Structures are given as structure tokens and as C-alpha cells.
Amino acid sequence: MDNKVSLIKRLSHLLFSYILFLVIYNFSAWYALHFEKSDSFVFSFEKHIPFIPWMIIPYMTSGLLFTLVFFFCSSEKDLMLLTKRINFTTIVSGLFFILFPLKYSFIKPQQDFGLLNYFYQFLVTWDSNYNQAPSLHIGYACIFWAVINKEFKSGWRIVLLAWILLLGISTLTVYQHHLIDILTALLLSCITFFIFPENKERNYRIGIVYFFIGLLFSLAALLLQYITNYSLLLLWISIVVFFVGCAYRNSNSRFLKTKDGTINALNTIIFFPYLLTYKIIWLFFRKNSSNPVSEILPQVYVGARLNSKQAAAFINERTYVIDLCAEAEENKYTRQKSQYFSFPLLDIGSVKKEEQETLSNLLTSIYADIKPDEKIFIHCLMGYSRSVFISTLFIKKQLNIEIDEAAAIVTKKHSQSIFPKYLLD
């Protein structure tokens, strides 16, 4: 525990959050109990989920973790972030408990669980069959996970995170929640983490948006099993979206392409829905564009990914191609016929400082020794932002001018460009 955060401050945040929880949880349970139409929402396959008596142990530790997590935070900023996330989750969940009251529908097995009976008796006395979706157990567990993942660096981190996974699973195996409660809680957690982010880094929030979309596809896959047989396709898409979200969350721009700019067979299969989406976008907006390339300095060009015909007309062995696409493979002609460099950057994402410097230095080095019959072509998929940003940095350095002046040069000469001002941070 960090001495910079006083014990009184930790206790006050804990007490406020706990009282808020008690008031909202108990009121919504009372309200649902007196509500005339409290329904249940259960997927047919949930009847096959086994009841596992000992899982009551991790389930019951949610309250303990709720207390301890306020003492795990190493700074006042982290403590305030934790408090905001927990209370936002409590309030929004409470509103859903009141507006859309759901009731748990499975009956727990009636048998002797030994010492575990005390825990189950506690649930009978204090817990509610209402207050189901979104599950507060899961919403809080996501918040606990974020704190532990940040504050613990030793083996305890693995142990505690594994325990939180057990806690999440236990909501199903001790017959306290249905799957819809879990999914809605995860959706709420995405909203919570987006509104109250750990940092202001752009890729972090984009990753959360991808997680949210992935969960929506997962929910759609489960709902459509009653109507069509497209559930597996939607589930595949949801997994791909989760993977992309992880790439953004970790600012991993090389999650898809190899160093030579190709996409191997395994990634092509796994990420096919993602690749197809960008392929369609490119075909619709750029493939047949009559002017996909613009000259911004003598022998320096910026633009979109070219199709084979355009590449054959513009690119040769004396062309240096800087490919910034992270989501599409360069066409074969360009890779084989040019001096090709693959530097993938995440679409609409932020660019690491070291990536900016590496690309700027590479372009400066090439341009310093460029021959009269050579040229440089900087491109991303659409030619709108990433190529514009890197070209702007290059011109700024080359002409020794301010970033706004460099951006004005690029956007004037490349009329279809959109300068990504968010990257200036």
C-alpha cells in the first residue's frame, strides 16, 4: 500500500461505494420482487451447465475483493478511477435492474454440501434471485482485473487473475446468473472503461470499442441460433474482432503482416472477415480512383494502395515504396518490382513515437541519396490519413518548418487527404 494515499481516504472511498451498492442493490431487488412481470432470459444450452458446489468459494470472494481492491491502488489518481468505475457500474446496473427486471430461473440442487452449506445459506438469506442483468459480479470482476493487472507484477498477479476468472465462471456454476447477465455485464464494462479510461491513449479506447463490437456479435450469434444457422459465422467474426481489439489495446501494428509485407496463410484464414471488410472498403473507395497518387515534393509521392494495373503504370525498380497498411497485403507486383518497405500502422490509431522517428529517418536517408530517375511512394490503404501524417512529418523535417505548414503543403497537393490532427498528441 502506497503511503501517499492515506488510510482515511481509502476507507472513505470504500465506504461510499459500499453504501451506494447496498442502497441500489436492495432497492432494485425490492422493486423487482413487487414487479408484476419479472421474466427470465435463458438460452436452451444453459440447462447443460453443471452445478459445481465448491465454486461458491470464489463466488463469495467478490465481496472480499471489493474491499481489498481499494487498498491495491498505488496512487490517488488510481483510487479515484477505481471509485468512478465501481460506482458507475453500480448505478447503471441498478437502473437496468429496475427498468428490465429479470429473475434467475434454475433451481439449485437440494443436498448436503457440508461446510459449504453456510455459504449457500448466506445466499438464501442475503442474495436475490433478481438483479440479474447486467451481473454486478462480472462488472466488478472486470474492474478488479484491471487494478490487479496494473498493480501486481509478481506471481501473485497470475494467481489473482486466475482467481477472478474462477469468480466469473462461478456465477454460472453456482446457479446465480444466466449467460445473458454475463454478456450484458461485459458490454457495460466496455462502456465503463471507455468513459473512465486508464489513460488517454487513442489505441486504448479504440481497442475497447472493438471489444464492445465483438461482444455484440457474440450476443447476436447466441440470439440467432433460434432463427438461423449463421451463429458460427457471427461467432467467428466476434473472435476476429476481439483479436483486433487486443492489437489496438497493445498498440501492436504488426499483429497481421510479416516483415516482408505479406499475410501468411494462417492469418489469412483467421482474419478473413476483417480482411474482407477492408477489401470491400478499398474496392468501393479507392481501387478505381483516377488519381490515387499525388506528388508533394519533387520525386516524393503520397497516396492509396494501388491495384495491379495502377502499380504497373507507376512503380518500377527505381521506386521506393513505403507501405503503411496494417490491414491489407501489398499487391505482388509492387513487392517484387520496387524497393519495398513494410511499416504497418494501425488504421485511425495513434502512432508510437519510435515509429514516427524510424519512418522519418528512413525517408530522410532515402531522399538524401535519391537519384534523378528514382522516386518515393508513401501509401496507406485509402491514402487519407496515415500516409498524409508520415509525409507531413517528413516534409517538416526536410524543409525545417512547423507541422501546420507541412500539413498545409500535403493537404493542398493531395486533395483527398484528411490530416489526422489526433496524432499530433
Residue 366: give its domain's CATH number. Answer: 3.90.190.10
Q: For residue 294, which phi and psi values (nearest 5 degrees)?
A: -130, 140
Average pLDDT over residues 315-324: 95
Same domain, 273 and 415: yes
Average pLDDT over residues 28-40: 78
**Beta-ladder partners of 304:** 380
Q: Indicate the number of domains in the chain.
A: 2
Same domain, 19 and 137: yes
Average pLDDT over residues 22-44: 83
Same domain, 160 and 273: no
d(CA 248, CA 343): 16
Same domain, 59 and 176: yes
Q: Pick 52 or 110 by higher pLDDT.
A: 52
Average pLDDT over residues 98-121: 82
In a domain, 230, yes or no: no
In a domain, 334, yes or no: yes
> Among the residues of 37-116, which ranges form H helices?
56-72, 76-99
Proportion of the chain above pLDDT 70, given as a percent: 96
In a domain, 251, yes or no: no
- What local confidence, expressed as pLDDT, does residue 34 receive? 78
Same domain, 313 and 407: yes
d(CA 122, CA 362): 66
Average predicted confidence (pLDDT) for the chain? 90
In the predicted structure, residue 286 carries a pLDDT above the cut 80: no
Same domain, 176 and 290: no
In the predicted structure, residue 190 carries a pLDDT above the cut 60: yes
- What local confidence, expressed as pLDDT, does residue 184 receive? 96
- What local confidence, expressed as pLDDT, does residue 425 receive? 62
pLDDT bucket at 1, cuts 50 / 70 / 90: very low
Q: Which of 172, 198, 224 is the last residue of a domain?
A: 198
- What local confidence, expressed as pLDDT, does residue 290 receive? 66
pLDDT tens digit string along 406-415? Answer: 999 999 998 8
- What local confidence, expressed as pLDDT, does residue 289 receive? 63
pLDDT tens digit string along 130-168? Answer: 888 999 999 999 999 999 999 998 889 999 999 999 999
DSSP states along 280-291: HHHHHHTTT-S-
Residue 423, all three cell numbers: 496524432
Same domain, 269 and 193: no
Same domain, 119 and 43: yes
Instruction: Say if residues 133 and 181 touch (Cβ distance below 8 Å).
Output: yes
* Omega of the bond leading into 134 within 30 degrees of 0 (cis): yes
Instruction: Say if residues 119 and 55 touch (Cβ distance below 8 Å).
Output: no
In a domain, 23, yes or no: yes
In a domain, 374, yes or no: yes
Give the pairing of strands 319-325 and 339-345: parallel
- Region of 251 please: left (phi>0), alpha (psi -120 to 50) or beta: left
In a domain, 237, yes or no: no
Same domain, 179 and 271: no
In the predicted structure, residue 287 carries a pLDDT above the cut 60: no
- What local confidence, expressed as pLDDT, does residue 170 receive? 96
Q: How is residue 102 annotated by DSSP? A: B
Q: For residue 380, which phi and psi values (nearest 5 degrees)?
A: -115, -165
Same domain, 32 and 110: yes
Cβ-proximal residues to 308 (8 Å cutoff; 6+ apart), any chain: 331, 332, 333
Q: Which of 198, 224, 241 is the last residue of a domain?
A: 198
Proportion of the chain above pLDDT 90, given as a percent: 68
pLDDT tens digit string along 352-380? Answer: 889 999 999 999 999 999 999 999 999 99
Q: Which of 145, 173, 198 is the last residue of a domain?
A: 198
Same domain, 80 and 171: yes
pLDDT bucket at 417, cuts 50 / 70 / 90: confident
Average pLDDT over residues 184-195: 97
Least confident of 14-18, 29-33, 176-180, 183-187: 29-33
Average pLDDT over residues 322-326: 95
In a domain, 88, yes or no: yes
Q: Which domain holds residue 309?
A: 265-424
Cβ-proximal residues to 291 (8 Å cutoff; 6+ apart), any chain: 416
Cβ-proximal residues to 226 (8 Å cutoff; 6+ apart), any chain: 44
Same domain, 188 and 286: no
- What local confidence, expressed as pLDDT, does residue 31 receive? 86
In the predicted structure, residue 253 carries a pLDDT above the cut 80: yes
Instruction: Say if residues 203 and 326 touch (Cβ distance below 8 Å).
Output: no
pLDDT tens digit string along 375-396? Answer: 999 999 998 899 999 999 999 9
In a domain, 171, yes or no: yes
